[in-house]
Amino acid sequence: MIQDPLTHERQPLVPETAPASENDETEPTLEQRAAELRTLLESRNVPISELGAEMGKTLVRRLVFLHIQSDLSPSRIVEEVQSMVRFYNKFFEGSTREQFHQGFFGEFAVAYALQEQLGYPVYYSTTEEDMEGKVDFLVDLEDGQPLVAVQIKSVYLRGDMDCVVYKPGVDLDSLPNELEVHISDRVHSTSEQLTAYCEEHSFRPMVIVIPSPDSDIPLYNLQTGLPVERGVGGKDKTELANRIWQGLDEKGFVTWD
């Protein structure tokens, strides 16, 4: 089998293994993950920003396992997710805790929508891509073009938000006026870092901005991390997936040629 040079040796969102059952013991337990993270914390050799990034990746991987690979019941999944959240909350306080929780649940929701609902392969970013380029994950739009480096921003918003997909340096000025100034400034700042990194490493930059669960009209669920269904056609067609697809089309990331 010929390896695709775009994705060779990259870690896919979902490992190529059979679905796990409720009794499958191959997936590391939360306690094992916790022990690994405590070791990192106690070593004091890992910057807090990098530690947070690694913890976030662990959270996303666990959500992938629970929602995509396992056959656990919905109620059991909610229990597992809330147990995981309680553990991670021990490492953060106040607004930092809220940002961590909403941010990485938002990342999972977007990755889930892109791969499980729109069918595009999603790959985890490396630590370097995450820290230096602010790349949350990469997407293969299967068009023979460079991978898309995606940056996710989960923001509080009053009212609705039609546009969720943005091209950095092109149309970020069209962000909703309802966004608080400091949030808008942060989106612009990190998108500039993303753009510079993509230019150097031949990626296509994309920023996806989604309303957080405490917004008037959220697009993902803070209890599960999944996109909100809102009666648009079942779990295979959510509003988040619809708006991402619309954005990919309108911003020229996908074409019909």
Average pLDDT, rounded, for the chain: 81
Q: What percent of the chain has pLDDT over 70?
A: 74
Does any domain span residue 18?
no
Does any domain span residue 92?
yes
Residue, of 103 and 28, whose pLDDT is higher: 103
Does any domain span residue 16?
no
Contact 84, 59 (CB under 8 A): yes
Contact 139, 122 (CB under 8 A): yes
Distance CA 77, CA 72 (A): 6
Domain count, the chain: 1
Does any domain span residue 240?
yes
Does residue 81 surpass a pLDDT of 70? yes
Does any domain span residue 19?
no
Neighbours of 200 (CB within 10 A): 10
The residue range of the domain holding 223 is: 30-250
Does any domain span residue 186?
yes
Does any domain span residue 23?
no
Task: Return the top range by mean pLDDT from 92-96, 105-109, 177-181.
Answer: 105-109
Residue, of 15 and 233, whose pLDDT is higher: 15
